[in-house]
Amino acid sequence: MAKEMTNDSSQNRLDYGIILSVMLLALIGLGAIYMATVHDGSTSPVRAVIMQVMWYVIGGVGIFIVLQFDAEQLWRLAPILYGIGIFLLLAVLVLYDRQVAASTGAKSWFRLGPITFQPSEVMKPAYILMLGRVVTQHNTKFKHTTHNDWVLIGRMLLWTLPVAALMMLQNDFGTTLVFLAIFVGVILVSGITWKILVPIAGVGAAIGGMAILLVTQTWGRTILAKIGFKAYQFARIDSWLNPSGATSGDSFQLWQSMKAIGSGQMTGKGFNHLEVVVPVQESDMIFSVIGEAFGFIGSAAVILLYFLLIYQMIRVIFDTKNEFYAYITSGVVMMIVFHVFENIGMNIGLLPLTGIPLPFISQGGSFLLANMLSVGMVLSMRYHHTSYMFSQEQESF
């Protein structure tokens, strides 16, 4: 009987639903990158696809390595990985790729020969682990009172502010928003009372509304410029508020993306039948490729795939019933949700352009690796939880 349980357990230790969702998104991504580079003409389509496949292989190896670590080992590794991430974020401020910085304004990339690498992507899973450890440690020692909840928020901010400050020094506002989204996601499931969360949400909404008001007024822009807003950031907001206002200038990228998606109509123009030119289509604007080639039906299918992936990740929380795992999964889910919402939103004109790529689909090695490692952490939860339960059942026999 114990032998039969061993066979069943070995089959159930991996979450094949998550793996299948990622594989399907990968196939869609490879097809979209091929189409984008064929019509872009600046890069060899075959080379672009091979490079993306290579990063998928590296990410797969990363997942296999992460699967070897259980909750206790991840707990111990969290501060070490966080420290390595901070070191890399500091190093890139000195050793950043001058060529990328000149074209994008962001000092956030290393260059290793022909390969560029963004250390902030490595920081994402490390930051998620660290927040999970901080919240678990606090909730184990203290009950939820208003005072203790404020203490928890303060502790989380202590680990968040260095990351946010370094990201702002790199002039990478989009990635800063990703870390903020992770922070919010973990806070929402940390058990902090709504008496604190509701006022904080209200203040956040008020700040957002005030920022939009300021950016639409000349005097407001003067204030924002003094506190660090750049000309390109104002241009992105202008193109978002009025995408048809300067279609040959600052609004060109957004307008072309909206035109491409709209031209796909219900069923799309078909694979490799792109007609609308969209800048950076293989990365930030990859959803415009899907919209034009496969139409509303294809775009909806991609969104459904993300929904299924997120649903399966959330299900892991309820199956494992481990507090540390719950915070890790919440951070990973929020990171993916924010990327998907922001990328698709900016492609269709719902949100301003921020340079946020689409998970598992957009071209980009370090970004893909970070997503794969994050998925690996969620898979590790299922893997070791099932193994632990099985070992307990064997002992009972």
**How far is Cα of residue 263 from the mean position of the Cα atoms in its chain?**
28
Q: How confident is the model at residue 393 (pLDDT cuts 50, 70, 90)?
A: very low
- Position 394 confidence tier, pLDDT thresholds 50, 70, 90: very low
Burial of 152 (0-12, 13-18, 19+ CB in 10 A): buried
User: Rounded to an integer, what distance in angstroms lies between the CA atom of residue 17 and that of residue 309?
Assistant: 8
The CA distances from residue 327 to 125, 134, 316, 352, 384, in Å, are 12, 10, 12, 29, 16
* Residue 264 · residue 292 · CB < 8 Å: yes
pLDDT bin (cut points 50, 70, 90) of residue 109 is: confident
Report, as an integer, the average pLDDT of 314-325. 85
CB 330 within 8 A of CB 129: no
pLDDT at 215: 79
Q: Kindly indicate the confidence band of residue 6, based on its pLDDT and cuts at 50, 70 and 90.
A: very low
pLDDT tens digits, residue range 288-311?
999 999 999 999 999 999 999 999
pLDDT at 391: 42
Long-range contacts at 53-61 (CB < 8 A, ≥ 24 apart) = 54/365, 55/364, 55/365, 55/368, 55/369, 56/26, 56/368, 56/372, 58/365, 58/369, 59/368, 59/369, 59/371, 59/372, 59/373, 60/372
Q: Categorize the per-residue pLDDT at 392 as very low, low, confident or very high, splitting at 50, 70 and 90.
A: very low
Q: Which of 358, 362, 352 is nearest to 339 (CA)?
A: 358
State the Cα–Cα distance between residues 286 and 169, nearest whole angstrom. Answer: 28
Predicted confidence at residue 30, as pLDDT, reads 95
Looking at residue 111, the DSSP 8-state letter turns out to be: E
Q: Give the whole-angstrom CA distance, residue 126 versus residue 379.
A: 16
> What is the DSSP-derived secondary structure letter of residue 15?
-
Q: In the chain, where are the structural domains located?
A: 2-190+250-396
Question: 116 or 195, which is more confident?
Answer: 195
Between residues 317 and 184, which one has the greater pLDDT?
184
Phi, psi of 290 (to 5 degrees): -65, -45
- What integer pLDDT is reported at residue 8 of this predicted model? 44
Residue 49, pLDDT above cutoff 90: yes
Give the pLDDT of residue 344: 95
Determine contact, residues 151/142, Cβ cutoff 8 Å: yes
The residue to which tokens 């639903």 are assigned: 17
pLDDT band at 373 (very low <50, low <70, confident <90, very high): very high
Task: Report whether pLDDT(17) > 70.
Answer: yes
- Could you report the per-residue pLDDT of 209-256, keeping only the tens digit for each? 888 888 778 788 888 887 777 777 777 777 777 777 766 667 788 889
Q: What pLDDT, on the 0 to 100 scale, is given for residue 390?
A: 36
